[in-house]
Amino acid sequence: QATINKIAAGEVVDRPQSIVKELVENAIDAGASAITVEIKEGGISFIRVTDNGSGINGDEIPTAFLRHATSKIKSIEDLISVSSLGFRGEALASIAAVAQVELITKTKDKLNGYRYVIEGGKEKSLEEVGAPDGTTIVVRNLFYNTPVRRKFLKSANTEGGYINSLMQYLALSHPDVSFRFIANNNNKLHTSGNTNLKDIIYSVYGREITANLYEINAKTMDISMKGFICKPFICRGNRSYENYYINGRYIKSNIINKAIEDAYKGFVMPKNYPFTAIHFTINSEIIDVNVHPSKMELRFANNDYVYNFVYASVLSCLKAQEL
Ligand code: ADP
Ligand code: MG
């Protein structure tokens, strides 16, 4: 069992960034309104995620670390329509298989909380402790028991950079959650959780981008898009500022990227890409989800329909302001 867990873990947990993603999504699923992520050495030696969500009942803690222990989603179709982010019930099991994990959790209805330690898939202890409501998970020494995998990690700086970008995406995807991100004891990001997307953009990207945005708000029968796109002169030579979310998830779709980029083509130099922060709500009936353990790829029943709507909406927003 431990071996199976180690192998399968590679698909969910390939670097510190994927651990942070899973833990933060769990916190969001648990209804947290404030989430703090702290890392040291790019997350390789230390990741701590603290939330003020529901907490986990004492008798449910060991099962939460078993593979396929999920209570959240019943079918693949639910995946895109249901609001919870977790669906495979693999994250905690996978993380615990390849690192040293400490969990402290307390539900509101109990006076005490619990501390649980599991390392390399082996339970070390479960005891009652005093704790605030919510959950804290500490992940230490990633891949300490699989040195070969550890070698494939990049430098602490690079791994930390990946987590930093992820935190930016997550903060923009959930304006209603207050995020704090601390790397090597330095505050990197703090968002208010006040639901105003523009405030989050300011916290994440600063003044220049925030001052040069157009609001976009478009709707058709099966798709709505709401958010901000940048003035063309702010466009940059890389794609990493193209943020968008589909039904609250950070998912990529080549069709949507292409539609956005094509709409900008008449306004920018070649190989310049916009900053965007767009929340899409797409009727799950027109989405075809192809699930791979580590990434999600979206296809649409009718790609042209999605492309045309996104392209036309971005283009008309730009034309209205730029021409
Ligand atoms: P999934 O999220 O796919 O259900 P995970 O392995 O990520 O699977 O988590 C297993 C279970 O542990 C979750 O279904 C949830 O019940 C519980 N859990 C994990 N993290 C938290 C948290 N931060 N707060 C409350 N419950 C949690
Ligand atoms: Mg999960």
Q: What does the pLDDT look like over 294-312, one tens digit per residue?
A: 556 677 889 999 999 999 9
DSSP string, 2-23: HHHHHHHHHHH-SSHHHHHHHH
DSSP letter assigned to residue 245: E
Sequence ranges of the chain with CATH classification 3.30.565.10 = 2-190
Query: Is residue 84 lining ligand 1, measured as CB closer than 6 Å?
Result: no
Ligand 1 atom at shortest distance from the alpha carbon of 84: 2
Determine whether the shortest distance from the Cβ of 159 to ligand 1 is under 6 A.
no
What pLDDT, in 10s, does the model give residues 58-90?
999 999 999 875 656 555 555 555 455 555 678
Beta strands 100-106 and 46-51 are unpaired
What pLDDT does 1 receive?
46
Centre of ligand 2 from the C-alpha of residue 87, in Å: 7
Q: How far is the CA of 26 from the centre of ligand 1 (A)?
A: 5
Which range has the worst mean pLDDT, 65-69, 70-74, 101-105, 130-134? Answer: 70-74
Q: For residues 25-29, give the mean pLDDT.
A: 93
**Backbone region of residue 115 per phi and psi (left: phi > 0; alpha: psi in -120 to 50; beta: other values):** beta
Predicted local confidence at residue 230, as pLDDT: 96
Q: Topology of domain 207-322, per CATH?
A: Ribosomal Protein S5; domain 2 (3.30.230)
ipTM value for the complex: 0.99
Task: Report CA(301)–ligand 1 centroid distance (Å).
Answer: 31
Q: Where in the chain is the domain with CATH 3.30.230.10?
A: 207-322
Residue 35 parent element (H or E): strand 34-40
CA atoms within 13 A on the CB side of 193: 12
Is any ligand 1 atom within 6 A of the Cβ of residue 26?
yes
Residue entry with tokens 């965007």: 276
If DSSP codes are grouped into helix, strand and coil, which group holds residue 56?
Answer: coil
- For the chain, the distance separating the N- and C-terminal CA atoms, rounded to the nearest angstrom, is 63
Supply the pLDDT for residue 67: 82
- Ligand 1, closest atom to CA 71? 14
Q: Is 22 in the pocket of ligand 1 (CB under 6 A)?
A: yes
The closest residue, in CA terms, to atom 20 on ligand 1 is 26
- Its pTM stands at 0.88
Low-confidence winner among 51-65, 80-94, 143-157, 195-209 (lowest mean pLDDT): 80-94
Task: Describe the crossing of helices 303-322 and 254-264 by its angle, rounded to 10 degrees.
Answer: 30
Ligand 1 atom, smallest distance to 88 CA: 3
- 202-230 mean pLDDT: 96
Contacts of 266 (CB under 8 A, 6+ apart): none
pLDDT tens per residue across span 225-273: 999 999 999 999 988 889 999 888 877 888 999 999 999 999 999 999 9
Question: If you classify domain 2-190 with CATH, what class do you get?
Answer: alpha beta
